[in-house]
Structure 1
C-alpha cells in the first residue's frame, strides 16, 4: 500500500542504528537458517499489468480502453523466462479480490463505490473477499479461482514458489465474501456495533455517527470526474468504523487510508492488550513451542479469521505470504499466525513489511517472520548514494548493526511502494541501479527482490489516474511500456526491447543467477571498505568493497557508484582475511564473474594482500580467486 505520510517518521530513524549489544544475542534459528548454501530471488509482479499489451494509457482509462493482464498471460514461456532471470519465488501482487470499479454483478459480486475506492482498478490493499481472487485477472470471472489454481501449478512446474499478499491490518470498507467456506462468516458480521470496542469485534466503531466521505483535495475527483451511479460523495456506513491507518475520525482525511477499515486484534482504544502475552524467553523458542503455547489460549476472533485465511491459501497451493504493514498488528498475533502456518507447512515463505528498526528483532524472533524489508537502513542509504548525495561509508555500519538478523532482511531497490530507479524523481537513469544492485544482492545471505520491469529500466512515467508518476500505478488500468516491449505481443522474448533494455536485462540475469548459485554468498561476509579508506590512495566513499567466502569459493566485491569517474587503486586485504582464507605468499589470479572480461592478480606478501582495481563509472566486479 502507498503510505506517503510514513516517510517523515522513517527519515528520523534512518541512521539511528541500535548500539546495544545486549539485543544481539545468539539466536539459534538465525544460526540454523544461515547454514543455507544459496540465496533466493523474489520477483514481485503486479499481476494485472504483466501481460497487458495495450499501449493506450488513457488517463483514468477503463479496462476496455487501457486493457488488463490476466492469470493466463503467465504462460509456460513467460514463466520459464522469469525463472531463467535467476528467480526462485514469484510474488503475485494484487491477487486477493479487492475493490474494483467494474460491474461483475452477474457473477454475484456487488458493485464498489468510487467514493471509497482509490483509482478505477482499485487498491490491492483494500481486500473485499479473502476467499476469492480479483475477477479482472480471469478470462472467465466465474472460473477465476480455477484459473489462479492453474497459474500456481504452472509456476510450480517452472520451478518457482508462489507468494501472495495478506493484509491483516485492514480490509475494504465494504468487505463481503461470496465464497466463504462453510462455517466461515465475514469480518464484522457478528460485531456489537453499539460498542466502540469489544475484544471479539473485528472492527472499531464510532456509535451514533455515520461515516462521511473525506473532503477530496487538490481538485481530485473519483474516476477523474466521470459520472457514475454510485459516485455521489456518500457511502453508507453506520456506525462509522475507524480507518485502516488508525484514524478514529468518522470523516477521515483524504491522505488517510479512507478506502479501508482498521481490524481489531484485541487492543483497546487505551492500549490494553486483551490477550495473553508471550512468556519471557520466547524470542529464542522455535515455532513449534509457539504453536503449543497458543493451543489452549482464548484469542480474539480476528486472529482466528486471519489464521484460517492463511491456511486456506496454503491448502490451495500457495507457498507463502507477504504481510502488508505487519508492524501495525501486535507481535503476539504473529506468533499465533506464523506458528500455525509453519506447523502446516514448515517451508512456507513469510515476508513482512516492517519499517520500525526497534521492532525488527521482536517480529523475527517473537513473531516468527522469515524476512523483513530492509528499507529504512540499506535501501534508503543506497538510494541517497545513487542520487549523488550519500556516502558508501554508511553501508558497513548497517551490516554490523544487523549482523545477528542479517539473513532475515529482504533486500530490494524497487517495489510497488517505491519510486522506479529510472524515474527523474529517483536516479533518472536505470544504469545507476547496477552497482547498487550488485551491493544489495551480494552483501548478505538474505533474499533479493526485484520488481517487474526493473530489469528493463521501467521509469514509471505514465499518469494513470490516482497517484502520480515515478511509481507504476497500482490503482488504475495502465500499460508498462518497457516491459511491453520485452513481452513483445506475448512472445516474451524481448523482441521489441531497445539495445539498452536488453543490456540491462542481461546484467540482471547474470547477477541474479550468480547469486543463487554462489556458495560464498550463503556464508561469510567481512567489510574491507573502512580498511581501504584508511590505507588505500584514490579509494573513496563512492566505492564500496567487501569480501564473501565459503570453503569452496572466495570473492572480492567492488562497486563504483560514481556515474562519471573511473577509479584505479591497489585494493588491500587485511591480515585477518589472508589468515581466514589460508592464503600463502604468492600471486593468485582473480577474475570477474559477471562478464568474465576483467582479470587481475592478488599479490599476497607478509600476511597482507593487494589487487589492482581499475573500475569504470557505475562498474562492479565480483572477483573470484582461482
Structure 2
C-alpha cells in the first residue's frame, strides 16, 4: 500500500447517475441510476489519483424497492435487504446478468490496485426477505418480527438462534469468494459481541486478509468490539468527527481534540476518521460548515494526525451539498454529473465549475501527502499543551502536532479561523526525548517555529534537524 488506508464510499446508484432529472420521489425510469458498468477503469484510476486504497460500494446487495413492505423513498433503503445472495437488478445493464456484471466490477477494482468493500447488515432485513440460496425461517427472526427505532422497513434478526449465526457467517463467505476484500458492518453494537468473535475468526480462517469495519457509536463498547469481537477498525464518530464538527462551527476549542485522542488510548490508530458519510451532514450544509472550504482544517487534522484510516464520501471532494444526499431515492448530484461527463471526455475537471475544480485540486494535494512515510506510519506528538494562548497562538482556533518517521520530522499546523495567520509554535524538550533526537541550533526547545497558515486550512512544514 503506497499511502495510508483511505476508503472512498460511493452509493453506486447516485455516484454514477448521469441523468439530470431529479424529481422528488421520482421513479427509476424518471430519475435514472448508476450501474455496475459505469465504474470504469478511468473512474477507478481517478480514485487512485486521490490516493484511495479501498472502495466501499454502498447499496449493492439486493434491497427492498418501491412497492415493497414499508419501503422508504422512491428507491428504498440499501439497508433493508431482501436477498443477501443477490445484487440489485437496477444496477445491471442486463438484469439476468447482474451477478456477472457485479463480478466484473469487482475484478476491475482489484485490477486497478483497489480493494472492494461492501455492506454487511447483520441486525435486520426487509420484511419481504427471501433467498433461493439460503432462506430465513421464523426462528431466525425475533419474536413478533419487531424492528429497532423507526426502521419500519426492517425486521430484527434473532441471534439467540445458532442457525442465524451460521447463515450470517455463510453470507460473508459467499461474498468473500467473489473477491470482496472487506465488509463495512452496519450497527454492530446491536448484535452480540460473541457472534462477532466467532464469525470474524471463522471467516478469517479462510480469508485472512479480509477487513472488518464496524459502525459503532458507544466508546465503552470499543474494547470488546476490538479485543473480543475481532474488528479491524471502528467508526470514529463520537470522538474526532463530533469534536471536529463542533470546532469548525465555533462550538468547541481546537485544543479539545487532545482529550479525544487520549480517550481512545491504544485504539486510536484503528478508529476510522471521516467528515462525511451517508448518515451525516455534507460539509457545505449550514448544520456543519456552510461552505466546503471551511472543512479543510478538519480534513488536514483527520488525514495527518495519526496513522488511523480515513473515509471520503463521494462528492465530498467536489463540495456536493448543501442538502444531505438521499439514500432512499433515485437521484443524481450536479457536480458528480459534471465530473463524470468530463471523465468520459478525457478530462475529469473539464466541466466542473470553478469552486468544485479548486476544491478537488486541494483534496488531491492533501490526499497525495498521505503517501509520505511520516504521515502513513510515523509517530505523533501533540504540541497543544506546550502552546498556551498568546499573541502568536490561539488554542481555540489552532491545533499543532508533530509527525516523525526516521530522520523526517513534520510540523503540522491547522487553522480553524477564517483569517490567514502566522503562529509561533513551541516544541518542548519532551518531544525531543520522545522521538530520541537531539536539539540543534535550528530546531530546539527554546526557539519557537514560525508557521504561516491560510484561512480554514493547514500547513505541513518539514523541520530541519
**So what's the TM-score if we normalise by structure 1?**
0.71
> Is the CA contact 1:574–1:609 (under 8 Å) kept in the aligned structure 2?
no
2:129 maps to 1:175: yes
> Is the CA contact 1:41–1:89 (under 8 Å) kept in the aligned structure 2?
yes
Q: CA deviation at 1:398?
A: 0.9
Aligned to 1:186: 135
Q: CA deviation at 1:61?
A: 1.1
SS in 2 for 1:116: coil
Which of 143, 154, 174 is equivalent to 1:205?
143
**Count of residues in correspondence between the two structures:** 461
RMSD (CA atoms):
1.7
Aligned to 1:76: 41
Aligned to 2:81: 127
Return the index of the structure with the highest Cα Rg: 1
Aligned to 2:312: 450
Determine the C-alpha separation between the residues in 2 that align with 1:354 and 1:578: 36
> Is the CA contact 2:420–2:452 (under 8 Å) kept in the aligned structure 1?
yes
Which of 166, 170, 179 is equivalent to 2:120?
166
Determine the C-alpha separation between the residues in 2 that align with 1:409 and 1:586: 38
State how 1:150-549 maps to structure 2 within 5 Å: 150-178=104-132, 180=133, 185-188=134-137, 191=138, 201-206=139-144, 241-243=145-147, 245=148, 256-266=150-160, 300-460=162-322, 470-488=323-341, 491=344, 493-533=348-388, 537-549=392-404
SS in 2 for 1:501: helix
> Is the CA contact 1:538–1:567 (under 8 Å) kept in the aligned structure 2?
no
2:433 maps to 1:611: no
Determine the C-alpha separation between the residues in 1 that align with 2:343 and 2:454: 37
> Is the CA contact 1:520–1:553 (under 8 Å) kept in the aligned structure 2?
no
SS in 1 for 2:388: helix
2:413 maps to 1:558: yes
- Residue ranges of structure 1 left out of the alignment (5+ in a row): 1-35, 102-111, 192-200, 207-240, 248-255, 267-298, 461-469, 588-602
SS in 2 for 1:355: coil
> Is the CA contact 1:387–1:427 (under 8 Å) kept in the aligned structure 2?
yes
Determine the C-alpha separation between the residues in 2 that align with 1:123 and 1:94: 8
Distance 1:315 1:49, change over 3 A: same
Determine the C-alpha separation between the residues in 2 that align with 1:497 and 1:403: 42
Deviations along 1:571-619, one digit per CA (max 9) or x if unpaired, are 11001223435233222xxxxxxxxxxxxxxx43xx4442112223112
Determine the C-alpha separation between the residues in 2 that align with 1:137 and 1:94: 10
**So what's the TM-score if we normalise by structure 2?**
0.95
SS in 1 for 2:387: helix
Aligned to 2:52: 87
Q: CA deviation at 1:552?
A: 4.0
Point out the structure with the larger helix share: 2
- Residue ranges of structure 2 left out of the alignment (5+ in a row): none
Aligned to 2:101: 147
Determine the C-alpha separation between the residues in 2 that align with 1:535 and 1:551: 32
Distance 1:124 1:157, change over 3 A: same
SS in 2 for 1:404: helix
2:431 maps to 1:569: no
Deviations along 1:237-281, one digit per CA (max 9) or x if unpaired, are xxxx111x1x6xxxxxxxx10100001101xxxxxxxxxxxxxxx
Distance 1:146 1:89, change over 3 A: same
Determine the C-alpha separation between the residues in 2 that align with 1:154 and 1:517: 27
Aligned to 2:25: 60
Determine the C-alpha separation between the residues in 2 that align with 1:500 and 1:134: 34
Q: CA deviation at 1:498?
A: 1.2
> Is the CA contact 1:121–1:476 (under 8 Å) kept in the aligned structure 2?
yes
Q: CA deviation at 1:551?
A: 1.2
Deviations along 1:201-255, one digit per CA (max 9) or x if unpaired, are 211223xxxxxxxxxxxxxxxxxxxxxxxxxxxxxxxxxx111x1x6xxxxxxxx
Q: CA deviation at 1:439?
A: 0.2
> Is the CA contact 1:43–1:87 (under 8 Å) kept in the aligned structure 2?
yes
Determine the C-alpha separation between the residues in 2 that align with 1:37 and 1:77: 19
Aligned to 1:222: none
> Is the CA contact 2:369–2:375 (under 8 Å) kept in the aligned structure 1?
no
